[in-house]
């Protein structure tokens, strides 16, 4: 426990090694992970969290890199959490994308961490959100989440961010209509990167046409589409300005508090789900499950019967008096 308190003090002092060690403990779900998170919680809430997501090859890493340099030029401390839904031991895109960020990695004012979900019940957004809490308490002004993978990680990261930026390229234009609705709906604004390529203007028009069909009124935030050439640093200032404009909108409308409360609600649900999952699946019920599955076909039981039996066993265990 003394080691935990030493680590907590070092995290609050913004020491880089301590930040890395604390995040590792969260990822690995060590016994003191919750102690650390509880101890730093009163210092959480100052950092602004930005999610950068979109399909592979859109230039998310480059955009994240350039945004980090923009914020550093303003004297801000920047944390980058690169989120990959796969195991860190498989390498692949996780390592490749990190290589492209080396020019900010040597900056002492930038902290970069790659994370994987490892199948956690709490999901990617909870682990990434807890890692962001560590960076927030450690003095970061901005935390950038970047999704390396595709699929659920994109939607998860929107749940962890205050502002979500979806990055597309001109080639996305033809497939915008077919693109899964979730990705289009989570964007607070869009960045059309590699805007020097053919079809950029048509892609912007396609996105704006779809956005026009979103229900809105006079007080709604209307997502815009910005063009960038991130590899050349073009349009980065405009992206940072749009992030700030959205932040001001959320502050004035009460939306930031609403989003952060929703995040806390989801996190509490995740913690409870995980705790109950561990309590429920004790060795006895795990054995019951295996035994019932093996005999389903022969004794005429259905999966619903088995689930009812297992839940009944759990209820007896947690409330024995009511079944006397």
Average pLDDT over residues 285-289: 95
Question: Mean pLDDT across the stretch 59-80?
Answer: 95
- pLDDT at residue 323 greater than cutoff 70: no
Domain ranges of the chain: 1-42, 44-253, 281-323
Q: Is the pLDDT of residue 49 over 90?
A: yes
- Give the number of other CB atoms < 10 A from CB of residue 288: 15
Would you say residue 39 has pLDDT above 70?
yes
| CATH 1.10.10.10 is the classification of domain 44-253 | no
- Report the alpha-carbon distance of residue 239 to residue 111 in Å, rounded: 21
Is residue 76's pLDDT more than 90?
yes
- Cβ–Cβ < 8 Å for 84, 114: yes
Confidence class for position 2, pLDDT limits 50, 70, 90: low
pTM for the model? 0.86
pLDDT of residue 171: 83
Residue 241 has pLDDT above 90, yes or no: yes
Q: If you average pLDDT over each of 168-172, 215-219, 233-237, which comes out highest?
A: 233-237
The angle subtended at Cα 67 by Cα 63 and Cα 72, nearest 5°, is 150
Residue 324: is its pLDDT beyond 60?
A: no
CB 52 within 8 A of CB 163: no
CA distances from 20 to 63, 75, 111, 191 (A): 23, 22, 9, 30
Q: What is the structure's pLDDT at 97? A: 43
pLDDT tens digits, residue range 170-210?
A: 987 555 554 556 677 889 999 999 999 999 999 899 888 88
Decide if pLDDT at 280 tops 90: yes
Distances (CA, A) of 263 to 26, 34, 111, 161: 18, 17, 23, 9
Top mean-pLDDT range of 89-103, 148-162, 203-217: 203-217
**Residue 320 CA to its chain's centroid (Å):** 40
Length of the chain: 324
User: Distance (Å, rounded) from C-alpha 231 to C-alpha 252?
Assistant: 34
pLDDT per position as a tens digit, 98-151: 445 556 767 889 999 988 755 554 456 678 899 999 999 999 999 999 987 556
Q: Rg of the Cα trace of the chain?
A: 23
41: pLDDT strictly greater than 80: yes
Higher-confidence position of 272 and 211: 272
When pLDDT is cut at 50, 70 and 90, the band that residue 90 belongs to is: very low
Poorest-confidence range of 42-46, 48-52, 150-154, 261-265?
Answer: 150-154
Q: What is the pLDDT of residue 281?
A: 96
Helix 236-253 / helix 255-280 crossing angle, nearest 10 deg = 90
- Return contacts of 28-37, CB within 8 angstroms, 24+ apart: 29/120, 32/1, 32/3, 32/4, 32/7, 33/130, 35/1, 35/4, 35/8, 36/4, 36/7, 36/8, 36/11, 36/134, 37/130, 37/133, 37/134
Q: CA nearest 148: which of 120, 117, 176, 178? A: 117
CB 119 within 8 A of CB 112: no
How many percent of the chain have pLDDT more than 90? 59
Mean pLDDT, the chain, as a whole number? 85
CB 76 within 8 A of CB 64: no
- Establish how many alpha carbons lie within 13 A of residue 305's alpha carbon, considering only the half-sphere containing its beta carbon: 9
Distance CA 2, CA 4 (A): 5
Q: Is the pLDDT of residue 267 over 50?
A: yes
> Which of 20, 72, 79 lies closest to 47 in space, CA to CA?
79
Between 17 and 320, the more confident residue is: 17
pLDDT of residue 99: 46
Q: What is the pLDDT of residue 91?
A: 41
């Amino acid at each position: 426990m003394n080691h935990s308190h030493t680590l907590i003090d070092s995290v609050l002092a913004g020491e880089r090694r301590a930040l890395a060690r604390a995040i590792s403990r969260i990822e690995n779900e060590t016994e003191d992970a919750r102690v650390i998170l509880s101890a730093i919680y009163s210092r959480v809430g100052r950092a602004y969290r930005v999610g950068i997501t979109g399909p592979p090859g859109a230039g998310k890493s480059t955009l994240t890199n350039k945004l980090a340099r923009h914020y550093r030029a303003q004297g801000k401390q920047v944390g980058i959490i690169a989120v990959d839904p796969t195991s860190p031991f498989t390498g692949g895109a996780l390592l490749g994308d990190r290589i492209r960020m080396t020019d900010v990695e040597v900056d002492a004012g930038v902290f970069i961490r790659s994370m994987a979900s490892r199948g956690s019940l709490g999901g990617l957004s909870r682990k990434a959100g807890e890692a962001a809490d560590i960076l927030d308490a450690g003095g970061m002004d901005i935390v950038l989440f970047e999704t390396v993978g595709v699929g659920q990680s994109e939607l998860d990261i929107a749940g962890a961010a205050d502002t979500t930026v979806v990055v597309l390229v001109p080639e996305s234009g033809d497939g915008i209509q077919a693109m899964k609705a979730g990705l289009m709906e989570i964007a607070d604004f869009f960045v059309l990167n590699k805007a020097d390529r053919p079809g950029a203007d048509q892609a912007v028009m396609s996105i704006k046409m779809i956005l026009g069909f979103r229900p809105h009124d006079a007080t709604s935030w209307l997502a815009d589409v910005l063009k960038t050439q991130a590899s050349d640093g073009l349009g980065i200032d405009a992206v940072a300005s749009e992030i700030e404009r959205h932040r001001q909108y959320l502050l004035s409308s009460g939306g930031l508090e609403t989003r952060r409360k929703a995040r806390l609600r989801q996190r509490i649900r995740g913690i409870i789900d995980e705790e109950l999952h561990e309590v429920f699946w004790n060795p006895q019920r795990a054995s019951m499950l295996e035994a019932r599955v093996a005999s389903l076909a022969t004794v005429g039981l259905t999966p619903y019967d088995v689930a009812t039996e297992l839940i009944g066993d759990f209820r007896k265990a947690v409330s024995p008096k009511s079944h006397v």
